[in-house]
């Protein structure tokens, strides 16, 4: 019945700080459309970004900055991702570590965005 995820929503304290982080660190593309949430596109997916002071309906029951925890897939070597994160001043919380993803074994690195959402970037073996 379901083929894939189209987008996820992040509730953030600062739209500008969050968008700047994802544009700089992960090369996401910011899209602003009047009357719609700002989004950050990457590949065939996007993150919709809702600033806590400017929410869109409908929304989660208790949207809170910092409650996100998600995994993104890369084609880059995890060691290269770690070097890039470090060059951007991003603290690596854990990694590289072996994990089991939706499609099998992968190597992952974990870090946090400006709202302390946990971001996992992984590469399948």
- Domains of the chain, by residue range, sit at 7-124
Contact between residue 82 and residue 92 where contact means Cβ atoms under 8 Å apart: yes
Q: What is the pLDDT of residues 20-34, one digit of tens each?
A: 999 999 999 999 999
Q: What is the pLDDT of residues 55-102, one digit of tens each?
A: 777 888 888 999 999 999 999 999 999 999 999 999 999 999 999 999
CATH homologous superfamily of 7-124 equals 2,3-Dihydroxybiphenyl 1,2-Dioxygenase, domain 1 (3.10.180.10)
SS3 19: helix
pTM assigned to the model: 0.93
Other Cβ atoms closer than 10 A to 103: 9
Burial of 66 (0-12, 13-18, 19+ CB in 10 A): middle
φ, ψ for residue 24 (rounded to 5)?
A: -75, -50
* Residues 7-31, mean pLDDT to the nearest whole number: 96
List the catalytic residues: 120
């Amino acid at each position: 019945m379901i083929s894939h995820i189209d987008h996820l929503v992040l509730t953030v304290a600062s739209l500008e700080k969050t968008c700047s982080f994802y544009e700089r660190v992960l090369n996401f593309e910011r899209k602003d459309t009047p009357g719609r949430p700002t989004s950050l596109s990457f590949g065939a997916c996007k993150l919709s970004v809702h600033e806590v002071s400017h929410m869109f309906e409908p929304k989660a029951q208790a949207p809170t900055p910092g409650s996100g925890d998600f995994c993104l897939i890369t084609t880059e070597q995890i060691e290269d991702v770690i070097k890039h994160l470090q060059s951007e001043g991003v603290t690596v919380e854990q990694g590289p570590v072996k994990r089991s993803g939706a499609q099998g074994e992968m190597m992952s690195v974990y870090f946090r965005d400006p709202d302390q959402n946990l971001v996992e970037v992984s590469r399948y073996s």
